[in-house]
Amino acid sequence: MRKTIIYTALISVIAPTIAIQSAHSAQITDLTLTITGGSLTISAPTTLNLGNASSPSVISIEMGMVTVTDNRGILASNGWVVSAIASALTPAAGPTIAASLIGYQAGAFLETGTVTATATNQTDLTGQTVVVTATLAPDSNQVSWTPKVIVQVPSGLAVGVYTGTITHSVV
């Protein structure tokens, strides 16, 4: 009878140890990965002096270099479009030179990377107007050009300084 008690005591000590060793724990870790594209940017001169003109006349002057840099990589496969819009040129007093009298000619391109740029010369920058498009751009690329701004100065304007803006955007 003594042997039975010892075995029972031994089993009651070992059984909980086996149960503890067979218990396990798990922790799930959620993973998040965000794939980001590079940037698509445009730079253009911040000022342009159109010089002096008489009324009526036509002014044609180079703006300075405009550059689009596309670092979107594979996301750039659809290319990009540059638009320009002008405000009217306004004096301190008197009639303005309407944006419809301001034109844009992109000129020659300096292209880096796999990209083909095409100019669309415009004679009216009243609204967002496409001036350059780039196609087949599946990698990072850069295109620069020096556009001409053409202003048709109408007759009957007051003497004075006229100011306005041209805004470039790229999508």
Residue among 110, 118, 113 nearest 134 (CA): 118
Query: Domains of the chain: which residue ranges?
Result: 40-170
Neighbouring-strand partners of residue 149: 61, 104
Say what the pLDDT of residue 22 is.
59
pLDDT band at 34 (very low <50, low <70, confident <90, very high): confident
State pLDDT tens for residues 99-121: 999 999 999 999 998 899 999 99
Query: What's the one-letter identity of residue 162?
Result: Y
> What is the rounded CA–CA span in Å between residue 38 and residue 171?
13
Architecture of domain 40-170: Sandwich (2.60)
Say how far apart CA 139 and CA 157 lie, in whole Å.
49
- Using a cut of 0.75, tell me whether the model's pTM lies above it: yes
Mind listing the pLDDT tens digit for each residue in 134-159? 997 677 899 999 999 999 999 999 99
65 touches 146 (CB < 8 A) = yes
